[in-house]
Amino acid sequence: MPPDRPTITSRLTADPASIDAAGALLRQGGLVAFPTETVYGLGADATNGRAVAGIYAAKGRPSFNPLITHVPDLAAADRFARFDQVSRRLAEAFWPGPLTLVLPRVPGAPISDLATAGLDTVALRVPRHPVALALLRAAGVPVVAPSANRSGHVSPTTADHVLADLAGRIDAVVDGGPTEIGVESTIVLVAGDRIRLLRPGGVDRAALARVSGLPVDDAADPQVAPIAPGMLASHYAPTAGVRLNATSVAPGEALLGFGPAILPGSDGAVAVQNLSPTGDLAEAAANLFGMLRSLDASGASAIAVAPVPETGLGEAIVDRLRRAAAPR
């Protein structure tokens, strides 16, 4: 799809015939959004430079930002990257699922340089959402898929979110209902006998350490060394300001709560949502991006966010909230 040509975006149901049609669209160089267990991705054939360029154009994404390549299984991944022992163990434990591995690219592997932004590494992931897996098999090509939102916006967890950002700019979205996890995959790089956590996500730090038996380090300050350039500070940004660790709600603010506590000033909030009234972090992750979108649409000047603990999945949730709150 030439990026500057307006397109009518079809909403496809997730039945086998539609998934086959979506796979054919991808093979022909189209842009197709689809559900994964984390967030909706905007897919294109990773081997087709023109299709990949269409993603950057549709999202308005800076072209230095490399993309994750999605494949249906570890055997397919082996064609594109060299696995060290630890990375293979992680893949065997967490694939299909919300883990992305950054690995040395197999020389000559047919992945567009645009997809890897010219790096000699490739980010690979096998999603576990049945619609994503069926689509990857139907497409028969590796599929790059960043989150299906305009660059810098909140990631989409429903087909409606995708259409709100990208209608008329992509060929189709396969509607598989709301996503299960709600925050993106964990991105890691195995460096010798340590694991570098490039982006916290759906697989938590403790699980990585348990399976690998290795220490899990934070990535270097992403502002200094943007090794995963999507980690730039101001990302996932709603239009309203975002105020973290709020213990009360100021006039004009909306409230994003967590847990059973009722904050002073909630009565006067422009709008109120609660990530998880019982304080369940999995529920909170699944609700995060949708609630940020809906509070943003309330017209509040700012979104006050109650404290969220940084344990388990909470690390990924707080990471996304900090980016949403970062100065722009």
Residue 28 CA to residue 187 CA, distance in Å, equals: 29
State yes or no: residue 291 binds ligand TXA (CB under 6 A).
Answer: no
* Binding characters for ligand TXA, 113-132, by CB under 6 A (x = yes): ---x--x-xxx-x-x-----
Binding mask 105-144 for Mg ion (x = CB under 5 A): ----------------------------------------
Binding to ligand TXA (CB under 6 A): which residues in 152-181?
A: none
DSSP-derived letter for residue 307 is -
Instruction: Say how far residue 167 (Cα) sits from the centre of its chain.
Output: 19
Query: Are the CB atoms for 64 and 181 separated by under 8 Å?
Result: no
319, 231 contact by CB (below 8 A): no
Which member of 7, 9, 18, 36 binds ligand TXA (CB under 6 A)? 36
**C-alpha span between 57 and 204 (Å, rounded):** 32
* Residue number with CB closer to Mg ion (125 or 255): 125
Contacting residue, 7, 69, 147, 157, with Mg ion by CB under 5 A? 147
User: Rounded to an integer, what distance in angstroms lies between the CA atom of residue 32 and that of residue 267?
Assistant: 42
| Sheet strands (E) in 176-245 | 186-191, 194-199, 216-218, 241-243
State yes or no: residue 36 binds Mg ion (CB under 5 A). no
For the chain, the first-to-last Cα distance in angstroms comes to 31
Classify the C-alpha dihedral 263-268-274-278 as positive or negative: positive
Out of 1, 31, 32, 41, the residue judged to bind ligand TXA by CB under 6 A: 41
Beta carbon nearer to ligand TXA, 199 or 205: 199
195 Cα distance to chain centroid: 20
Q: Which is nearer to ligand TXA, 36 or 158 (CB)?
A: 36
231 binds ligand TXA, rule: CB under 6 A = yes
298 binds ligand TXA (CB under 6 A): no
- 128 closest CA partner among 35, 206, 43: 35
- Nearer Cβ to ligand TXA, position 73 or 266? 73
- For residue 247, which amino acid is it? T
Task: Give the nearest distance from C-beta 155 to Mg ion in angstroms.
Answer: 5
Task: Retrieve residue 283's tokens.
Answer: 């529920």
Exactly one of 147, 179, 212, 287 binds ligand TXA (CB under 6 A); which one? 147
For residue 185, state whether it binds Mg ion (rule: CB under 5 A): no
**Residue number with the shortest CB distance to ligand TXA?**
230
> At its nearest, how many Å lie between ligand TXA and the CB of residue 247?
31
Query: 117, exposed or middle or buried, with CB in 10 Å at 0-12, 13-18, 19+?
Result: middle
Quick one: how far is CA 85 from the chain centroid? 26
Asked if 68 touches ligand TXA (CB under 6 A), the answer is: yes
The alpha carbon of 66 is separated from its chain's Cα centroid by a whole number of angstroms, namely: 13
Contact footprint for Mg ion (CB under 5 A): 147
Contact footprint for ligand TXA (CB under 6 A): 36, 38-39, 41, 65-68, 100, 102, 116, 119, 121-123, 125, 127, 145-147, 184-185, 187, 198-199, 227-231
